[in-house]
């Protein structure tokens, strides 16, 4: 019995042991299975991550390739299209001016601009003309030896840097020296490529240049004082010629406009009669005259002015308004010309000019003007607070009892005289001459500027001649790429000084107060 019980116990122990081993095996198997599952999941996750990385990398590479291809394509398209650059500079120094655009648009002949060994900047400017008018073509030549016709005709060598502008049988050659100049007020170089190209286009497309005759023989200023003004006129395809009426006897028939500047003495009766004949034939006259400060009698010249019902004063206009004069200079008057005048209507903007030691234009009454067949359009006036002085012995620049009010006095006028039903004579007169000269005006102890370069003096004078000669497309505001000097009125100077000194001091004081308040709160 005991033996049986022992066998049963032994058997039970074996079975229990077997069960325990079986459970352990199952557990191990399950653990192994779980481990394998984790490994499989990890491997699957790694493969997915690898696939995702490859997909993202491929997309990135593809995107980069598309961007690069698009960039190359856009650049090629822009190059082939010769598109103009965007110019965000205030003065638009990298864009064509309105004047150049008008000239380019008006060209009705084939014009070819040939650039030989020129820089990219000059090529860009030339292409701007082509983008406005396809009659203006551009040809770039880097190896002039391939064009023996050019080397023979213009005598240029393989290392020459030139621009040739040609139209029909007319041509204009510009060397690299013609594209730059020196501003002698600041001694800096300035680029005048646009000015040179535009003037060359005018030159080769103009059939007949208007001729401006400058009366000589009795003038206060020599022609040297008008050197830059004459140069500006010639650059815009005018011919400027001196006229001595005592030798010619009459104003030439090809005279587009007769220019008269301040006289130091009266003209002769013969000269007077020649000018009167010119007026009666519908002549165009532009007169720049300073006041007759010496009071010298000029009856013959006054006979000419009487035809238009005007005279130039002996006295001078002075300003009291600091915003209407150069800083500290009441005799240098800032003149605003309305954009609605015949001379400025094409500019669509106000023109500011500076008249220096100017007189005023005295105009006959309306009854007399009607008798003369004259109409007057005011071009320029003095400020509301201006006054008129005839006693040059008075040293103060302030108004005295000897002076008279001259608010809104006429300083410039366009006068039209009807001769008959078919003939009309025109006179543009300014009671100032200095503003078109290259007289040096001191700006500071270091710098000076020519009178012609102040504000829009040049524009006002040249636009006036353009109007008289029927060149309305030349009436414009010319782009100035020169160094601009510091020229301000007294009022502007005060504002600038306040900004420079007062505002920083106020900010410092506010900072100290805030710091003290915060310090006490702690």
> Domain of 442: which CATH number?
3.40.50.880
| 221 shares its domain with 285 | yes
Quick check: is 4 in a domain? no
Distances (CA, A) of 376 to 109, 133, 288, 366, 415: 38, 39, 17, 10, 5
pLDDT confidence of residue 406: 94
* Tokens representing residue 522 in the block: 């702690």
Assess if residue 38 is contained within a domain. Answer: no
CB 460 within 8 A of CB 337: yes
Residue 81 lies in a domain: no
Lowest-confidence segment of 75-89, 95-109, 156-170 by average pLDDT: 75-89
Task: Give the max Cα distance, the chain.
Answer: 176
Please indicate, yes or no, if residue 18 is contained in any of the structural domains: no
Distance between CA atoms of residues 226 and 439, nearest Å: 9
The percent of residues in the chain predicted with pLDDT above 90, rounded, is: 46
Both tokens of 311, joined, read 């005279």
- Is the pLDDT score of 483 beyond 50? no
Which among 141, 113, 111, 301 has a CA at the least distance from the CA of 220?
A: 301
The pLDDT > 70 percentage for the chain reads: 78
Residue 161 lies in a domain: yes
The residue segments making up the domain with residue 322 are 210-487
Choosing from 159, 180, 207, the residue where a domain stops is: 207
Residue 183, pLDDT above cutoff 60 = no
Last residue of one domain, picked from the residues 191, 207, 223: 207
Q: What integer pLDDT is reported at residue 195 of this predicted model?
A: 80
Q: What is the CATH number of the domain that holds 201?
A: 3.40.30.10
* Among 115-119, 414-418, 498-502, the range of highest mean pLDDT: 414-418
Residues 396 and 451 in one domain: yes
| Highest mean pLDDT of the ranges 27-41, 378-392, 486-500 | 378-392
Using the 8-state DSSP alphabet, how is residue 219 labeled?
B
- pLDDT of 141 higher than 70: yes
Q: How does DSSP classify residue 478?
A: P
Q: What is the predicted pLDDT for the residue at 295?
A: 86
**39 within some domain:** no
Are residues 284 and 407 located together in one domain of the fold?
Answer: yes
**Residue 203 domain flag:** yes
> How would you label 238-259 residue by residue, b for 16+ Cβ within 10 Å and e otherwise?
bebeebebeeeeebeeebbbbb
Distances, alpha carbon 272 to alpha carbons 275, 279, 310, in Å:
5, 11, 16
pLDDT (mean) for 189-209? 84
Asked if 307 and 273 count as a contact pair (C-beta separation under 8 A), the reply is: no
| Each residue's pLDDT tens digit, 290-309 | 999 888 899 999 999 999 99
Q: Are residues 193 and 225 in the same domain?
A: no
- Mean pLDDT, the chain, as a whole number? 83
Domains in the chain, number: 3
What pLDDT was estimated at residue 125?
A: 84
Note whether 479 and 518 are same-domain residues.
no
| 191 and 280 inside one domain | no
| Same domain assignment for residues 132 and 246 | no
pLDDT digits (tens, 9 = 90+) for 259-290: 999 999 999 999 999 999 999 999 999 999 99
Q: Give the predicted TM-score (pTM) of the model.
A: 0.69
* Same domain? 173 vs 287: no
Shared-domain flag, residues 298 and 351:
yes
Do 317 and 394 have their domain in common?
yes
Are 321 and 466 part of one and the same domain? yes
Identify the domain boundary among 187, 207, 227: 207
Per-residue pLDDT reduced to its tens digit, 360-377: 999 999 999 999 999 999
Residue 307 phi/psi, 5-degree rounding, is -60, -25
pLDDT in tens, 215-249: 999 999 999 999 999 999 988 889 999 999 999 99
On whether residue 66 sits in a domain, the answer given is no
- Strands 211-215 and 255-261, by their bridges, are parallel
Q: What is the pLDDT, as a whole number, of residue 41?
A: 60
Clarify whether residues 261 and 123 are in a common domain: no
């Amino acid at each position: 019995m005991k033996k049986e019980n022992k066998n049963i116990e032994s058997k039970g122990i074996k079975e229990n042991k077997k069960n325990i081993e079986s459970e352990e095996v199952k557990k191990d198997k399950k653990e192994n299975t779980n481990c394998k599952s984790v490994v499989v999941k990890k491997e699957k996750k790694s493969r997915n991550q690898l696939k995702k990385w490859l997909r993202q990398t491929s997309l990135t590479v593809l995107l980069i390739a598309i961007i690069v291809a698009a960039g190359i394509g856009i650049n090629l398209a822009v190059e082939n299209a010769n598109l103009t650059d965007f110019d965000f500079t205030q003065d638009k120094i990298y864009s064509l001016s309105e004047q150049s655009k008008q000239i380019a648009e008006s060209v009705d002949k084939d014009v070819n601009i040939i650039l030989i060994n020129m820089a990219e900047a000059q090529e860009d400017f030339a292409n701007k003309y082509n983008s406005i008018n396809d009659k203006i073509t551009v040809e770039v030549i880097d190896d002039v030896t391939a064009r023996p016709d050019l080397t023979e005709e213009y005598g240029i060598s393989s290392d020459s840097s030139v621009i040739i502008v040609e139209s029909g049988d007319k041509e204009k050659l510009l060397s690299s020296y013609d594209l730059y100049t020196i501003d002698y007020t600041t001694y800096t170089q300035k680029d005048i490529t646009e000015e040179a190209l535009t003037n060359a286009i005018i030159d080769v497309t103009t059939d007949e240049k208007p001729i401006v005759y400058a009366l000589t023989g009795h003038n206060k200023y020599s022609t040297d004082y008008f050197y830059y003004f004459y140069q500006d006129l010639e650059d815009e395809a005018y011919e400027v010629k001196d006229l001595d009426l005592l030798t010619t006897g009459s104003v030439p028939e090809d005279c587009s406009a007769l220019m008269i500047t301040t006289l130091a003495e009266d003209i002769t009766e013969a000269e007077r009669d020649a000018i009167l004949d010119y007026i009666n034939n519908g002549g165009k006259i532009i007169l720049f005259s300073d006041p007759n400060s010496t009071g010298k009698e000029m009856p013959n010249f006054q006979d000419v002015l009487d035809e238009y019902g005007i005279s130039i004063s002996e006295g001078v206009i002075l300003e009291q308004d600091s915003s209407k004069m150069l800083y500290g200079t009441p005799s240098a008057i800032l003149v605003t010309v309305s954009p609605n005048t015949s001379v400025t209507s094409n500019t669509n903007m106000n023109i500011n000019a500076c008249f220096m030691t100017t007189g005023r234009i005295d105009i006959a009454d309306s009854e007399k003007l009607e008798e003369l067949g004259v109409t007057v359009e005011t071009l320029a006036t003095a400020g509301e607070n201006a006054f008129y002085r005839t006693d040059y012995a008075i040293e103060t620049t302030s108004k005295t009892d000897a002076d008279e009010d001259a608010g809104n006095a006429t300083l410039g006028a366009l006068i039209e005289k009807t001769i008959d039903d078919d003939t009309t004579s025109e006179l543009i007169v300014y009671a100032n001459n200095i503003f078109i000269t290259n007289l040096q005006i001191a700006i500071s102890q270091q710098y000076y500027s020519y009178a012609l370069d102040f504000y829009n003096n040049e524009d006002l004078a040249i636009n006036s001649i353009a109007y008289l000669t029927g060149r309305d497309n030349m009436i414009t505001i010319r782009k100035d790429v020169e160094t601009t000097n510091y020229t301000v009125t007294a009022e502007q100077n005060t504002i600038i000084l306040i900004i420079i000194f007062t505002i920083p001091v106020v900010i410092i004081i506010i900072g100290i107060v805030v710091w003290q308040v915060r310090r006490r709160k702690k």
